[in-house]
Structure 1
Amino acid sequence: MSISVIIPTLNEEKYLEDTLNSVDKDTDVIVVDCGSYDSTMVIARRFTDKIILSERGRGMQMERGAREASASGGGDILLFLHADTLLPRDWRNRVEEIMKDSSFIGGGFKLKINSQRKAFRFIEAAVNLRSKYLGLIYGDQAIFVRKDAFFAVGGFMSLPLMEDVDLIRRLKKKGKMALLDAEVHTSSRKWDRAGVLRTTLRNWIFLILYYAGVSPAKLYRQYYA
């Protein structure tokens, strides 16, 4: 069973090296950049020769990476890894083991946020409960999926926001998603920028609005207003 790891980037020099170091050296790694002007590309080239350019937008970047993996004879499994997120040491064994069960078409990991602030422990618990009981596994949990299932549901749509939520909704209609009993470690930067409470409330409100039918384009405009 082979795995391709796809990492979308934009000015990720602070995090990318650690992220790439968390991936096994023999793994097929595809970095999809959308215009970095820091040392992101220099760092990426030390780890992989599969670096492609894309339009800006994480969903579009990950879709480009998936298509590159398919065209170049990459993995049977696609794993989408955010540039500020570290995989656990035994990530490959865990993914391969669960994917031996053909009833699972994909999954993700439990979330751990790299901060000592107590508020993040509540966020982690909420995310992991949501993932376990509702099957809602999102992008910062290192989504992995069978390549054939990914393309069968249409892959990532060209959405400015909620691209991971949209993909998971479609995948769940096709098969089961697994929550592995191992943690990915992600940075706290998105909470640090606007504050923990504000960011958390905004995320939940936008998620509710999305499920209520508000378009990702409209949510994007409100998110960055």
Structure 2
Amino acid sequence: MTRHQPQVSVIVLCLNEAARLPLLLADLQQSKFPLEILISDGGSNDASPQIAELAGGRVIRVHPPCRGRQLAIAAGEARGDWLLFLHADSRLAPSWQDSVIRLLRSAEAQDSGWYFDLCIEPASWARRLLEQLVHVRSRWLQRPYGDQGLLIHRGLYERCGGFKELPLMEDLDLVERLSKITRLRRIGLPLTTDGRRWDQDGVLRRSWRNAMLRHQWKRGASAEQLARRYSADQLAYQKPQR
């Protein structure tokens, strides 16, 4: 790694997140180690690209929006030895830099994929229950998803085949392949996500809908078939795997 090459490339999946993106960028700017910040934007019609550029991020424009393609292209453009994938509506814990530094120095770091603990805000009893279920699923079934982030060494990312160009289920597809060759481990810190995903339908109804999407995909429905059932706005940051 050259003197100017970043050790960690942060890849942020983004579409029309002008309200939330500045908060994540502020978290990232507190880093105590070199970061390359790439915003993979699916064609935002708000100020998301301008906000990213003003914060020193590099904007990669991918249109039409496709979650898997956005992530795959940005990963190919990234220069770091480590890749940290995040959603634009995420917030990092204040101590995230120290934890990641310790992790990168550990002997087992490069051989595993690393994820955060899901935290949904604002809190409710139903959301806290969902978080606990996600924790069990992530640890014992080895199925953390995109809103939990993913920190992975480039070599391991390439070894498992990276993100496929899927409009939905791109994170489930990746962790299924990744879990066949290594362990996915907790970083031990929360990653806060915006609770608006569950506001309209409620936690139970949305979770059921998303489980049905996952079930249909596992039974052979293509991600493209599932994606066509929703408008571009609904797909933009819907989290269907929950």
Judge same fold: TM > 0.5, yes or no.
yes
Give CA deviations for 1:37-67 in whole Å, capped at 9, x if unaligned.
Answer: 2111221112224111112112111111101
- d(CA) in 1 for partners of 2:110, 2:88: 29
Which residue in 2 is equivalent to 1:63? 72
Moved more, 94-103 or 43-52: 94-103
- d(CA) in 2 for partners of 1:163, 1:64: 13
Q: Does the CA-based 8 Å contact 1:113-1:188 persist in structure 2? A: yes
Residues 76-155 of structure 1: pairs in structure 2 closer than 5 A? 76-99=81-104, 100=106, 101-102=108-109, 104-155=111-162
- Paired residue secondary structure (2:198): helix
- d(CA) in 1 for partners of 2:144, 2:123: 23
Q: 2:50 aligns with which of 13, 19, 42?
A: 42
- d(CA) in 1 for partners of 2:38, 2:24: 13
- d(CA) in 2 for partners of 1:102, 1:17: 29
Structure 1 residue 166: deviation in Å?
A: 0.2
Q: Does the CA-based 8 Å contact 1:104-1:177 persist in structure 2? A: no
- Paired residue secondary structure (1:203): helix
Please, which runs of 5 or more residues in structure 2 have no aligned partner?
1-5, 235-242
Amino acid at match of 1:147: R
Give CA deviations for 1:166-225 in whole Å, capped at 9, x if unaligned.
Answer: 011111122111122210000012111333222111112222333333322222234559
Which residue in 1 is equivalent to 2:239? none
Amino acid at match of 1:109: F
Moved more, 210-219 or 15-24: 210-219
Q: Does the CA-based 8 Å contact 1:103-1:176 persist in structure 2? A: no
Which residue in 2 is equivalent to 1:161? 168
Q: Does the CA-based 8 Å contact 2:110-2:156 persist in structure 1? A: no
Q: Does the CA-based 8 Å contact 1:13-1:38 persist in structure 2? A: yes
Q: Does the CA-based 8 Å contact 1:108-1:178 persist in structure 2? A: yes
- d(CA) in 2 for partners of 1:202, 1:215: 17
Moved more, 49-58 or 93-102: 93-102
Q: Does the CA-based 8 Å contact 1:98-1:104 persist in structure 2? A: no
Amino acid at match of 1:138: Y
Residue 21 (structure 2) pairs with residue 16 (structure 1): yes
What is the RMSD computed on CA atoms of the aligned residues?
2.0
Which residue in 2 is equivalent to 1:172? 179
Please, which runs of 5 or more residues in structure 1 have no aligned partner?
none
Amino acid at match of 2:53: R
- Paired residue secondary structure (2:200): helix
Residue 224 (structure 2) pairs with residue 212 (structure 1): no
Which residue in 2 is equivalent to 1:29? 37
- Paired residue secondary structure (1:36): coil
Q: What TM-score results when the alignment is normalised by the length of structure 2? A: 0.84
Identity %: 35
- Paired residue secondary structure (1:194): coil
Structure 1 residue 4: deviation in Å?
A: 0.8
- Paired residue secondary structure (2:71): helix
Count of residues in correspondence between the two structures = 221
Q: Does the CA-based 8 Å contact 1:6-1:66 persist in structure 2? A: yes
Residue 59 (structure 2) pairs with residue 51 (structure 1): yes
